[in-house]
Amino acid sequence: MTKSLVTVGISTRDRNEIVKQSIELLIESCKSHQPLIQLILCDNNDVEKGMSNTDVHSLVARGVEYISEPLMGKSNALRAIISHAQGRWILFLDDDIRVSLGLIDAYLRGIESYPDVGIFGGPISAYYEKEPTAFHRMALDLCPAAFGILPVMTDTEMSVQDDVLAFGGNMAIRRDLLARNPFDTRLGMFGGRRVSGEDTAILTQILQSGIRGKLLVGAQVWHHLAPERCGLMAFMGWYAGKGRAVRRLRGKRAVWKASRLTFRDIGERLVQRNGRHNQIGIQALS
């Protein structure tokens, strides 16, 4: 087994109860690998909304390093994690992710099996508080990425051209690559406002420099989807986040083009979905 130290970093804001549940599972997943694993939780809340001293002391007592980043923005929090990281690799997880007990094993095996790879990621499935609506099931089938879901059926090479990338909720990057390719602080969540692309931007930059990336089928996590994050507003909010990213990176004039591309993207996905369902129907009749 590889001797590389892995830093696991989670940035959080306004999800104190959910992140505590996520951390509990993560601690269990890391137990057999101590002291190879460093756990960092970065609180990006306002001071009055941050975790209580009792919760912080409890986490620290169990080996979690708690840091605070007062400058709002997910990319600022991710940069803070990097500045405190000791690992050769940094595994980034979202604060509403539930990990499998074999997650760390899967990443360590991947690092050992693919020594020339600089980026890893894994599948992200959904878990729900309530049974999802028919609309959500349709929208999830139409565009899993809008809900932070990433199906992975086998170990898969990442490709910018084919749009095969890890998602920020479950990705590991070699730390030396992050020193040369920092997170863009114009992108990422800003409080409750989504500005998409802090993850895909950095992955694209690294892959285009000639570094390989790999999706590992065994590095499974589950994304918590509360009812308010399963409806039409959440679905369109993902596209709105992409539009805000375009505006920040390219200016106002690019937004109209981005809006047209959004409607084209939804239309193409609907055509593909109908084509898949028609093909299934034909196969059932034959």
Please state which of the ranges 84-88, 130-134, 242-246, 252-256 shows the lowest mean pLDDT. Answer: 252-256
User: How far from chain centre, in Å, is Cα 166?
Assistant: 7
Predicted confidence band at 54 (pLDDT cuts at 50, 70, 90)?
confident
pLDDT given for residue 219 in this prediction:
96
Is 136 in a helix, a strand, or coil?
Answer: helix
Tell me whether strands 117-121 and 170-174 are parallel, antiparallel or unpaired: antiparallel
pLDDT tens per residue, range 70-82:
898 999 999 999 9
Share of the chain above pLDDT 90, in %: 44
Question: What was the pLDDT predicted at 104?
Answer: 92
Higher pLDDT, 137 or 154: 154
Torsion over CA: 41, 46, 49, 54 (sign) = positive
When pLDDT is averaged across residues 162-181 and rounded to a whole number, the result is 95
- Percent of the residues in the chain that have a pLDDT greater than 70, as a whole number: 82
The reported pLDDT for the residue numbered 154 is 96
List, for residues 197-249, the tens digit of each pLDDT value: 899 999 999 999 999 999 999 999 999 998 888 888 887 777 777 777 766 67
The mean pLDDT value for 126-136 works out to: 88
What's the distance, Cα to Cα, between the start and end of the chain in Å?
A: 50
Cis peptide before 151 (omega within 30 of 0): no
Mean pLDDT of 246-267: 59
CA dist., res. 150 & res. 170, Å (int):
10
53 falls in which pLDDT band (50, 70, 90)?
A: confident
What is the residue-wise DSSP string for 184-232?
-TTSS-BTTB----HHHHHHHHHHHTT-EEEE-TT--EEEEE-GGGSSH
Report residue 40's pLDDT band, with 50, 70 and 90 as the boundaries: very high
Which pLDDT band holds residue 286 (cuts at 50, 70, 90)? very low
pLDDT digits (tens, 9 = 90+) for 82-129: 999 999 999 999 999 999 889 999 999 999 999 999 999 999 999 998
d(CA 48, CA 31): 32
For residue 20, count CB atoms less than 10 angstroms from its CB and return exposed for 0-12, middle for 13-18, buried for 19 or more: middle
**Going edge to edge, which strands form the sheet with 156-157?**
64-68, 37-43, 6-12, 89-94, 170-174, 117-121, 212-215, 156-157
- Identity of residue 272: Q
> How many whole angstroms separate alpha carbon 270 and alpha carbon 84?
44
Residue 49 pLDDT more than 70? no
Any long-range contacts for 263-269 (C-beta under 8 Å, 24+ apart)?
A: 265/239, 266/142, 266/143, 266/239, 269/142, 269/143
Query: Would the pLDDT of 278 be above 50?
Result: no
Give the model's confidence band at 282: pLDDT under 50 very low, under 70 low, under 90 confident, else very high: very low
Mean pLDDT of 136-164: 92
pLDDT of residue 279: 47
Helices (H), 44-102: 53-61, 74-84
